[in-house]
Amino acid sequence: MKNNLLALLIFMLLAQIVVTLGSGCAQIGAPTGGARDTSAPMLVKAIPELNTLNFNGNKITLTFNEYIELQDLPSNLLISPLQKTMPSIKSNLRSIYITLKDTLLSNTTYTINLGNAVKDINEGNIYKNLQYTFSTGNSIDSLQLSGKVTLAETGKVDSTLIALLYLNPVDSSVTSRKPDYIAKVDGKGDFVFTHLPRASARVYVLKDGDGGKTYNSKSELFAFYDTDLNTTNAIAPVILYAYAEEKSMKESKVEKKQSKEKKLSFSNNLTGPKKDLLEPLKLTFNTSIKKLDVKSIVLTDTSFKVLPNTNITFDSSQGIITIDYKWIPETRLSIIVPKEAVEAEEGKTLSKSDTLYFITKSISDYGNLVLRFNNLDTSQKIVVQFVTDNQVKYAYPIIGNEWSNKIFPPGEYEVRILYDSNNDGVWTAGKYKEKLQPEKIIVLSQKISVKANWDNERIIDLPID
């Protein structure tokens, strides 16, 4: 009996050991995961401390609570006031080491902005807008100046622009030397200069293509504020309009592809068999043209009677024939291109005389568009632009509170309002040398959708200056 009881106790003890060991193995073999780290690194120590006064060294160390690395440092780094020689910046484990290589100005507040260059190694969480500020004097300057810039020609924003600020400037500052302060333009077109001293200042905006930080090319996007500012009472944001005084000379040269077909042919800009009432008819050849007799190409009616008052031109560089005529709705017409009228560079000719038949569109193929303007000041010479694919498709001057067009092409349009100061119907760039600002454009927040055979109306509230 005792032996049986002892055996039972030993069996129960062994069973408990097996269960315990099994439970331990299960925990080791299937560890549970934690939530993904979404926190940005934290700055836990700075040597010297943030906002140090009477700074006279050249080394700065920033230490974080986790392992970090630097990304895209050149495009993120800004130092104000601007230095002639950029500092050396390196990272190792949890720290960033900054070595200044330029002489510091006395009694000046400096800001080293690393932007979004710092991120943790494991999850890539970014420390946004990391700044380190110190002063070589007895106080930290706290004044600031903000602004907003839009592209004058389109009313859009370009976040690749930079804002330049000159203290106690002379008229040639932006063309002759680098600025004292630089600020980045954000996705809304806003910028801000911080930790400024009390001084007069001048503000510019530039798309710095060559990295020189000066305005040295009329093809660069550029903006200037009309008057000097004082940082002491600069409260409201300054508004600037960027423009390029000249088109860039770097034009992409698209070679005209030579046709592999043996036959010379041409395409057209018809919509099926229908011809738009508002645009000329265009015929585009499939290869370069050596010779073309424009006078032998004719526009006719259904009885092949040549129509008078037809203007036919040829663009040899593009290989395009343009036929201009006062198109009448729902009219059947044809364009005749004789075989002997065209000869290509390779000696190709049309296999036979070609006749293109078409019918002009009806009024019902278009929409009736009515725009009503609030706050209209006719002295400002307003032009409304209808834009598709970032190209101005149609533009009309506005001379009254209501504008209408009964045959407007259907489609969705971005609408821009041009303040046409020189009254020439198109946007005009500024001229910095003459201190002439560009004409400005605003963009309506909502697009206009025009439906065919439909009354399309919109009320437009113009801003009050």
pLDDT, one tens digit per residue, over 410-428 is: 999 999 999 999 999 999 9
Using one digit for the tens of pLDDT, what is the confidence trace for 398-414? 999 999 999 999 999 99
Cα→Cα distances 465→227, 374, 380, Å: 18, 13, 11
Whether residue 252 contacts residue 293, with contact meaning beta carbons closer than 8 Å, is answered with no
Boundaries of domain holding 177: 143-242
**What does the mean pLDDT of the chain come to?**
88
Residue 260 covered by a domain? no
Residue 26 domain flag: no
Contacts of 6 (CB under 8 A, 6+ apart): none
User: Between residues 364 and 271, which one has the greater pLDDT?
Assistant: 364
Q: Is the pLDDT confidence value at 448 over 80? A: yes
- Asked whether residue 162 falls in the same domain as residue 126, the answer is no
Question: For residue 256, is it within any domain?
Answer: no
In a domain, 186, yes or no: yes
State the greatest distance between any 2 C-alpha atoms of the chain, in Å, as a whole number. Answer: 131
Compute the average pLDDT of residues 307-326: 94
From CA 418, how far away is CA 424, in angstroms rounded?
A: 11
Strand partners, 238: 147
Statement to judge: residues 345 and 395 lie in one domain: no
Q: Domain holding 282: CATH number?
A: 2.60.40.3710
**32 found inside a domain:** no
- Average pLDDT (342-362) is 90
Nearest to 243 by CA among 146, 161, 178: 161
Lookup result for tokens 């530039």: 206
CATH number for the domain spanning 374: value is 2.60.40.1120
Are 342 and 372 found together in one domain? no
Which of 361, 392, 420 corresponds to the end of one domain? Answer: 361
Q: According to the model, what pLDDT value does residue 346 have? A: 78
Q: Are residues 152 and 118 in the same domain?
A: no
Residue 25 has pLDDT above 70, yes or no: no
Q: What is the pLDDT of residues 105-153, one digit of tens each?
A: 999 999 999 999 999 998 889 999 899 999 999 999 999 999 999 999 9
In the chain, the number of structural domains is: 4
| pLDDT at 253 exceeding the cut of 90 | no
> Residue written as tokens 């030397």?
177
**Do the domain assignments include residue 400?**
yes
pLDDT interval class at 4 (50, 70, 90): low
Scan for tokens 């201190």, then name that residue. Answer: 435
Look at residue 259 and tell me if it is in a domain: no
For the four alpha carbons of 257, 260, 266 and 271, in that order, the dihedral sign comes to negative
Last residue of some domain: 96, 113, 135?
135
Same domain for 237 and 170?
A: yes
Q: What is the pLDDT of residue 6?
A: 55
pLDDT at 1 over 60: no
Do 120 and 62 sit in the same domain of this protein?
yes
Return the CATH number at 83.
2.60.40.1220
Q: What is the pLDDT of residue 29?
A: 40
Sheet holding 88-92, edge to edge: 43-47, 59-64, 95-99, 88-92
Last residue of a domain, one of 337, 361, 385: 361
Give the helix/strand (H/E) hosting 322: strand 320-324
Sign of dihedral through CA atoms 390, 313, 352, 263? negative
Contact 266, 285 (CB under 8 A): yes
Q: What is the percent of the chain where pLDDT is above 90?
A: 73
pTM for the whole thing?
Answer: 0.78
- What is the separation of C-alpha 65 from the centre of its chain, rounded to a whole number of angstroms? 37
